[in-house]
Amino acid sequence: MKKKTQVLAAEDDLLVDLTCHSVKASLLAEFAEKIVKPYFRGNMNAAMQDLIHKALAEQEFVRSRITHLRGSVEA
C-alpha cells in the first residue's frame, strides 16, 4: 500500500472521478446550503476537495501528537 501512496502523491495532475453511495440527501443538502453555497460560491467540487485536505491535515496532526506522546512516555 505504501508504494501506491507514493506513486499517487507524485501524480499531482491525476484526476479521479469520485462517486459516493448511500449518503442521505438531507445531509448533502445541508452541506450544500451551509458550506458550499456561502464559502465556495456553490462549487461542490472545491468544497469536497477542501474537506478531504482538512481531514488529511487533521489526521496527520493527530498522528504526530500520538507519536510525540508515545515518545515522551517511552523516554
Output the furthest CA–CA distance in the chain (Å, rounded).
Answer: 50
Whole-structure pTM over 0.85, yes or no?
no
Which tens digit of pLDDT belongs to each residue from 38-47? 999 999 999 9
Domain positions in the chain: 47-75
Cα–Cα distance measured from residue 69 to residue 63, given in angstroms and rounded to the nearest whole number: 10
Q: Which residues of the chain have pLDDT under 70?
A: 1-12, 70, 72-75
How confident is the model at residue 21, as a pLDDT? 95
Residues 23, 44, 37: CA angle, nearest 5 degrees: 105
Nearest to 46 by CA among 36, 55, 38: 36
**Cell 501524480, residue located:** 11
